[in-house]
Structure 1
Amino acid sequence: MNNQFSGTKEVADNLAFDLNALNIFLSNQDAGISEIHDYKQFKGGQSNPTYLLDSENNQYVLRRKPPGKLLKSAHAVDREYKVLTGLNSTNVPTPKTIVLCEDESVIGTAFYLMEYCSGNIYWDPVASELDITRRKKIFDQMNLGISRLHTQDYKDIGLEDYGKPGNYIERQTSRWTKQYFDSETEVLKSMHNLIDWLPKYTPEQKYTSIVHGDYRLDNVVFHDNDEIQAMLDWELSTIGDPLADFGYHCMLWHVGEISDDIAKTLGIHSEKEYVDLYLSRTKMQLESEWDFYIIFSLFKAAGICQGILGRVRDGTAASDFAVEMGKRAKIYANLGWEKAKRIT
């Protein structure tokens, strides 16, 4: 799996752009970037195409909207740039932003540049690439990253207008319901059931923070000493319910069926240990609503995967893995509905 996603590849023909046009744009910015002489496409990712740029003495990352037909409000690279720029002044580990370009005439779609973090990314959800003795620190650092994010005062860093503070679950349910129906390639009965079930059991939102929206191990870069270096892929970030965001992050224990004994064998935290660590760092309280957050997260994951299948259908998916990824929509929806039936 690591070789399939790690590193770069030659740029796909439909995702290539005019390097000369990019250099002309950069020369007119006060960004201190010398001429870009080569670029490659990162292998990983199903959404916004991401490239490694080479100049004479440095490397940078360019992230852009994909070309072609897109779902409304999706692939908002301007929002990614905004939240990263705001977080650059905090202790949340993020790449430093450099410049945003919303002029689609430059390379065909909007894009932004940021620093290249040349650390380690682990593509297996339990970091099986690593010796078992190192995995608990990786999970501890991943937990530290999301804890720091959820305890930032978003108003203090210029992100007060980054999203609506209330009714996060309701808004997200509406968003992923619409994406599901816009992208539906077959009728998933369990998804339809969840769409009816969620509004009836939504808990009151107790906290408000910046939420990442898709925080998982392969969206984190680590230093060689296993400390967290940068959190990546902020496309789904907004202002919302941190406990829902953390619930999405903790789907691993449910989708992977990681019991306490299996967690011990893998060398990672049990779900309870991991949740308790987060609560101790954030000083938040979690009660009976945890099951709901997991069910909601499975629904959301199904909506994301169905959106990928929709882009495969429309010819705008950004990786060969997209078809396989999209097929997970049924798995997530079925698991979510099975859990929902137990507490109905």
Structure 2
Amino acid sequence: MSEQDLPGLDLRRLRTYVDERVPGLVKDVLTGQVVQGGRSNLTYVVSDGRSRWVVRRPPLGHVLPTAHDMSREYRVLRALGPTAVPVPATVVLCRDTTVIGAPFYVMEFVPGRSFRAAAELAELGEHRTIHIGNSLVDTLAALHAIDPEALGLEDFGRPEGYLERQLRRWKKQLDSSRSRDLDGIDLLHGELTAALPVSGAPALVHGDYRLDNALVDENDRIAAVLDWEMSTLGDPLTDVALMIAYAEAGEFGLEVVPDVGAAPGYPGPDDVVARYARSSGRDISSLNWYLGFAFFKLAVILEGIFYRFSHGQTVGAGFESIGAAVEPLIRLGNERLKD
């Protein structure tokens, strides 16, 4: 692939910058490719024919100045490097937008496999799937056990009022994409607001923790946790609940939601909760609220996609079926909240 083939990444300018900051790292002409997936930031794999690295930058086009913060992602990866949470090693951060047109950072390439589909896990068999699922839960518990202050991340977020802000944020998101009646959505939001729990000890939270945001090594262990753009200091049970909700939502057969939870051996909600509670030692007695909120959040996300699709603002495989899945997610949220 030629150096001009990558949208948003000039490989020659990247090479010049890396040569200045990390002399001798790159041995030859760089080639690369865009990696599909990820929440919104662009990811590339680049190589000099001997070694490979990963480059991350914001999306093409206009973005809000506070969104897609490369420095923030780089900071959390660098801080987590010496911990028990597996992350790619950082190489260099560039805040200068004149180099490739946006801030970016380079990190090591971690070999591993990303799983999005139940069929992919089924090929491995139930025993290996159990091991992978358990490793995902244990890694999350290890993340939440970290003392942010010990890593210099004491100012990485505002844990006070975290749940209130999250609830307001996603209600605002819902209001911006309302175009139809959604049975039970206002009830769910009202119940969540009325029953807001008191958070336990804050932790570094990933914000979008699920299997396809991690790489699995040949021994079925988590080799690296990726996509830290939503990480902050907050309530760790939001990570646990969202991981569970994603697995359950995958059973609706939506293109935009991984269905790994349907694979034989993948840990169900009770298994995840029991293992996390045992590994973390945290009080999970109020987890039903967090599950209700997780399904509310997923419903809002899917309704936003459906809104943009129905108004001709986005295209994609399976988008036409998303609208029908929103109310079942709302029902699941209301059911979990009342359990």
Q: TM-score, normalised by structure 2?
A: 0.84
- Helix, strand or coil at the partner of 2:56: strand
C-alpha separation between the residues in 2 aligned to 1:10 and 1:246? 43
Tell me how far 1:327 sits from its aligned partner.
5.1
Tell me what 1:3 maps to. Answer: none
Find the partner of 1:20 among 9, 12, 33: 12
One-letter identity of the residue aligned with 1:237: S
- Helix, strand or coil at the partner of 2:122: coil
Q: Deviation string for 1:7-52 (max 9, x for gaps)? A: xx99998934322222222222136431552110112234111111
C-alpha separation between the residues in 2 aligned to 1:340 and 1:264? 19
Tell me how far 1:284 sits from its aligned partner.
0.9
Tell me how far 1:71 sits from its aligned partner.
5.3
Q: Deviation string for 1:81-121 (max 9, x for gaps)? A: 11111101211111111111122222122211111112111
1:18–1:107: 8 Å Cα contact kept in structure 2?
yes
C-alpha separation between the residues in 2 aligned to 1:55 and 1:137? 35
Tell me what 1:219 maps to. Answer: 213
Q: What are structure 2's unaligned runs of at least 5 residues?
A: 253-260
C-alpha separation between the residues in 2 aligned to 1:152 and 1:186? 42
One-letter identity of the residue aligned with 2:290: Y
1:302–1:330: 8 Å Cα contact kept in structure 2?
yes
Find the partner of 1:30 among 12, 22, 44: 22
Find the partner of 1:178 among 169, 172, 178: 172
1:93 correspondence with 2:86? yes
Tell me how far 1:132 sits from its aligned partner.
1.9
Identity of aligned residues (%): 33
One-letter identity of the residue aligned with 1:223: D
1:166 correspondence with 2:163? no
- Helix, strand or coil at the partner of 2:21: coil
Tell me what 2:255 maps to. Answer: none
C-alpha separation between the residues in 1 aligned to 2:301 and 2:288? 20
Number of equivalenced pairs:
328
Tell me what 2:258 maps to. Answer: none
Q: Deviation string for 1:246-282 (max 9, x for gaps)? A: 1111114543569xxxx89812334222211111111
Tell me what 2:330 maps to. Answer: 334
- Helix, strand or coil at the partner of 1:50: strand
1:299 correspondence with 2:296? yes
- Helix, strand or coil at the partner of 2:17: helix
Tell me what 2:282 maps to. Answer: 284
One-letter identity of the residue aligned with 2:151: I
With over 3 angstroms needed to count, the CA separation of the structure-2 counterparts of 1:302 and 1:193, relative to structure 1, is same
1:52–1:61: 8 Å Cα contact kept in structure 2?
yes
1:299–1:333: 8 Å Cα contact kept in structure 2?
yes
Q: TM-score, normalised by structure 1?
A: 0.83
Find the partner of 1:209 among 203, 216, 231: 203
- Helix, strand or coil at the partner of 1:63: strand
Matches within 5 A, 1:19-168: 19-30=11-22, 32-34=24-26, 35-70=28-63, 73-124=66-117, 127-168=121-162
One-letter identity of the residue aligned with 1:291: N
1:69–1:316: 8 Å Cα contact kept in structure 2?
no
With over 3 angstroms needed to count, the CA separation of the structure-2 counterparts of 1:328 and 1:116, relative to structure 1, is farther
Tell me what 2:257 maps to. Answer: none
Q: What are structure 1's unaligned runs of at least 5 residues?
A: 1-8
